Chains A and B, each alone.
Chain A
């Protein structure tokens, strides 16, 4: 079956002679042809997971298979997966065009014409050296390289770092249009949750090295709601319910609840609305990683 299968993945580090567990027995599947959002706080383990998938670092325990083949030191998975990293892994002395040139040399599925067209759309000067690019344009040349590769599994690790709103919109538009023409697995690891919430089909939340949640976006957002009202009424309503978190604004209390609305307990001064993904994420990760 076409998928990335992650089984019981664990990664331990030593920091100043203290052990640190970055991933703790993570098991996941990334199925072919879907867009995944990989969400997590800083230091949650997203980049560690991605780096293990792409054979950049090694797992302490566990396995990763891509289309049934081990991803560990396996040249046969070379043209199956590509990761656009947050950090810069290209030689600083290279120009953008040289990066494209070498990528086309290493991957038979790289579309140089598409890369140059996308560069024009983003206003990227391909003769510019990578080290001279701003933070935003560094992200842009990496995005363009990734989008110009026709690999079955494409991973973006913080793709919109430093991008202005216009470029972010353009990136999302191009990503969706590319996905429609050529369905494949796309994994987006990002902090800008609300921006990607309309793109992603499946959500995986990682917290403290563990999978907190893995569900479809639709199902997850339907799982909960927010209810606002006076503190006393909200406290009364919330008794016995699975409350993810609270906010208090200008004397009003908002509760974020998982489950169905209890219609008979709702008073006229209460206001119910859908829970947004970012709020759900913040509240879930605030409460110390308790899985749903």
Chain B
């Protein structure tokens, strides 16, 4: 099957929106720095967490780009299996690329103005650039996988039912679970929960950070995203 052509299609069609996104994002950052330089040392221009803009971009790509690509690729005789493989390869490449861009620019901004990336804020500055890139790429890949799954679920369930599900999940994870932890669990249990999440993020009781943990978590969540997505895609029909 023409997987190479499919991958080329996926990459070239995302290139323009990606270029526009980075131009706007780092254009705003650059504009901020120029204003900062003009105004002088007393300016209040600060920013952080550019990575979350990239997360939003990835979510939008996964949800908006899916229908058009699915229809066009089906029209051109690709099987659902091929479409899934092409999408999977795209998200891996995109995650690695965006991880590299954001890591390099974060390093540059850190040198110029003390900018702290998400990685720096969590783990500090004394770690290899390779590790920063790897962790960020895994994070982006996880976001892509989950967004893709959500998109397919939305198609399968219908948008209204999917919205109800999302609201339900948000209420459960952001309201009920924190409430439960803070009011029902004992102080000791609360500390154990925090320790557990810290462990998942790689923090240990000694000062050593196990980066393997968050990487493994990202891979695990990505599998949870992509495996059911593959199953859903296999059953997906063109809407007439």
Contacts and interface: CB of A to CB of B under 8 A. Distances in A.
Interface of A: 47-48, 51, 54-58, 73-75, 77-79, 81-83, 85, 87, 89-92, 102-103, 105-107
- Which of B13, B76, B79: most chain A Cβ within 10 A? B76
Contact of B1 (A78, A85, A90, A103): A78
B72 A91 contact: yes
Contacts of A47: 240
B133 to A, nearest CB: 31
B22 interface: no
Given A73-B81, A78-B1, A78-B2, A106 B240 contact: no
Interface size class of B (residues with CB under 8 A): 20 to 34
B237 interface: yes
A89 B78 contact: no
Given A47-B240, A78-B2, A105-B9, A73 B79 contact: yes
B44 interface: no
A82 B77 contact: yes
A89 B240 contact: no
Contact of A56 (B5, B6, B81, B237): B237
Given A57-B240, A58-B237, A105-B9, A75 B75 contact: no
A89 B8 contact: no
For chain B, what secondary structure do more than half of its interface residues adopt (helix, strand, loop), or is it mixed?
helix
A107 B76 contact: yes
B80 interface: yes
B77 A81 contact: yes
Nearest to A47: B240
A56 B238 contact: yes
Given A90-B72, A102-B9, A106-B2, A78 B77 contact: yes
B236 to A, nearest CB: 9
A85 B92 CA distance: 33
B240 A102 contact: no
Nearest to B8: A105
Contacts of A87: 240
Contacts of A77: 77
Interface in B28-72: 68-69, 71-72
10 nearest A-B pairs in the assembled complex, by CB-CB distance:
A75-B1, A89-B75, A56-B238, A57-B237, A78-B77, A89-B71, A106-B76, A91-B68, A73-B79, A105-B5
B79 A90 contact: no
Given A75-B81, A107-B76, 6 more contacts: A48-B240, A57-B238, A73-B80, A73-B234, A75-B78, A87-B240
